[in-house]
Amino acid sequence: MTSLIRNADINRRRLLATGAAAGVLAMPMAACAADAPSEAVEVQIAEGRLRGARTGGVDAYKGVPYGASVSGMNRFKPARPVAPWTGVFDATRLGTPSLQDPTTVYGKNEPAPGEGCLVLNVWTPAGGGKGRPVMVYSHGGGYTTGSGGSTAQDGSMLAREHDVVVVATNHRLGVLGYLYLGELGGADYAGSGNQGLSDIVLALKWVQRNIEAFGGDPANVTIFGESGGGAKTSCLYAMPSVAPLFSKAIIQSGPVVRITTPDVAAQTTRMFLEQLEIAPADWRKVLDVPAPQILAAQKALNAKVKSDSGGWRGIQSLTPGTYGPILDGDLLPHHPFDPTAPASAADKPLMIGWLDNEAAFFAWTGKDVEAFRLDEAGLKARLSGRFGDKAPALIDAYRSDRPGATPSDIYLAAASYYAMGAGSVLAAERKAAQGRAPAYVYNIAYRSNRRMDGTDIELGAMHASDIPLVFNTVASPDTLAGSRADRFAAARNVSAMWANFARTGRPSAPGQPAWPPYDPKTRSTMVLDVACTVVPDRFGAERRAWAKVDPAA
């Protein structure tokens, strides 16, 4: 899956970076108790005392600093732990998101993005307790946008209903998180291409040090994330030095099989410096460039580097001019799932999956109305343009496996599997082959009734509509999960599966069938919906068809 799984969300990242999807994800997505009266609460952690807010039976601490300054001479270097403070730190408001356009973060009363972004949020059931499972979330938005403060990802409902502690981090993104200076800066900048990930590692160390104060169990930590957050989770799962900091992982629509190499990252660095009119020999000048100019240069380079993925290929492009994790002899010495699943996580259970209609999101945010109205000629033209003379056989396989499917149904299903499904299946296969800890594969089939703007087209089980289901933030009819009355039942199932996996390593939900681990013979897949079902080798015919189109599939 080398060329296939360039790993999962480049278009979403580009669209969000340009603000194209801002109106979509910025809509209200608050949990049901968000407007309840609050009272002040305090907790003592290793660095000092925090003041949070208790609302609806959940204590929330927001904007908690976990890292020291990463600006000026500290740019592109590993973050250090935040220094202890005196007095009481006010943790009742969200902290600063990583540097990006302000239209691509979606928190309520969230500060303007900037460099002082090493903060996290904690939600925990009120009233004491200890030994709770801990769920540490990495937000989506590729490697360039988003924050842990999004209202769609508010951890209150997960904490309240499932007795877990939820943590969400902000961390460096884009140039500040992934600009590789090892070639120019030498040993002092050897890890510079992965600082966005190293920030999350620092937050996981904070969790180990402090989570007991919130009732959490530092020996039972699950890392999870969606889209770009799934990509980050894929990488964290593969880091040998991070293995002691977590026990399980969930990768949502973000399988990363391979990552960028230092030589490609070095080309990106030179392209970025050229955008700033800085000669490679004078690279240190980038340490003094004001943050707004850094962002402007990043956006200008993004505009020059055109992706041809069309929502088909994963979260990270391996071409110069894009930002994301790189192979690093220290932090990330191997590709996450190539040629095998990571040995350092062999004993750690993994959940991985995608949604039935992922590609609808990218067509929606890309204003590609025609994707939903294709005729036979249009379908053949789109697939032939990408897969040449192998397209007819692929279309025949989908039509045989999906009687009655329209040309658009086939196009969107193929795009969804190729972008997200194939990498998820490959990762699960390689995880299962280790025989040490289970892999669980899911598809989310719940169909949102959100419509494409100005049309009657329902978007269905599209990319990112799992977020409100996982966090059970579906009370508002404006979430990506839509307004159907049965969304509450679907959210109860999905959130319970996630929380119980975090608790025991085995996903389950009341009244739903037992979820068997994935293996290469049965390929059991849990289809998550209002009523969940286990289906053996759900997309087997299509999987085999893709193997002929792209042997890596």
- Positive or negative, the CA dihedral 209, 164, 145, 13 is positive
Q: Give the tokens for residue 537.
A: 């080798």
Residue 388 to residue 392: CA distance in whole angstroms: 9
The distance from CA 337 to its chain's CA centroid, rounded to whole angstroms, is 17
398 and 545 Cβ atoms separated by less than 8 Å: yes
Residue 424 to residue 439: CA distance in whole angstroms: 11
The one-letter amino acid at 468: P
Q: Tell me, what's the pLDDT at 31?
A: 40
Task: For the beta carbon of residue 482, count every other beta carbon within 10 angstroms.
Answer: 23
Catalytic positions: 227
The one-letter amino acid at 94: L
Strand 448-451 to strand 458-460: parallel, antiparallel, or no bridges (unpaired)?
antiparallel
41 and 52 Cβ atoms separated by less than 8 Å: yes
Q: Tell me, what's the pLDDT at 224?
A: 98
CA distances from 461 to 199, 412, 448 (A): 32, 11, 6
Angle between helices 540-549 and 422-434 (to 10 degrees): 100
Residue 78 to residue 196: CA distance in whole angstroms: 9
450 and 459 Cβ atoms separated by less than 8 Å: yes
Supply the Cα-derived Rg of the chain in whole angstroms. Answer: 22
Query: What share of residues in the chain are helix, strand, coil (percent, to 5)?
Result: 40, 20, 40
Torsion, Cα 489 148 301 417, to 10 degrees, reads -30
Q: Tell me the residue length of the chain.
A: 553
pTM: 0.93
Cis before 336? omega within 30: no
Domain locations along the chain: 1-553
For 1-553, which CATH superfamily applies?
Alpha/Beta hydrolase fold, catalytic domain (3.40.50.1820)
Q: Give the tokens for residue 285.
A: 């000048």
**First-to-last C-alpha distance (Å) of the chain:** 5
Instruction: Print pLDDT tens along the chain (553 aa).
Output: 322 233 333 333 333 322 233 333 333 334 445 567 899 999 999 999 999 999 999 999 999 999 999 999 999 999 999 999 999 999 999 999 999 999 999 999 999 999 999 999 999 999 889 999 999 999 999 999 999 999 999 999 999 999 999 999 999 999 999 999 999 999 999 889 999 999 999 999 999 999 999 999 999 999 999 999 999 999 999 999 999 999 999 999 999 999 999 999 999 999 999 999 999 999 999 999 999 999 999 999 988 886 544 455 544 556 888 889 999 988 999 999 999 999 999 999 999 999 999 999 999 999 999 999 999 999 999 999 999 999 999 999 999 999 999 999 999 999 999 999 999 999 999 999 999 999 999 999 999 999 999 999 999 999 999 999 999 999 999 999 999 999 999 999 999 999 999 999 999 999 999 999 999 999 999 999 999 999 999 999 999 999 988 876 6
Q: Tell me, what's the pLDDT at 330?
A: 87
94 and 111 Cβ atoms separated by less than 8 Å: yes
Residue 376 to residue 384: CA distance in whole angstroms: 12
Residue 390 to residue 297: CA distance in whole angstroms: 40
Q: Tell me, what's the pLDDT at 553?
A: 66
Q: Tell me, what's the pLDDT at 11?
A: 37
The one-letter amino acid at 73: M
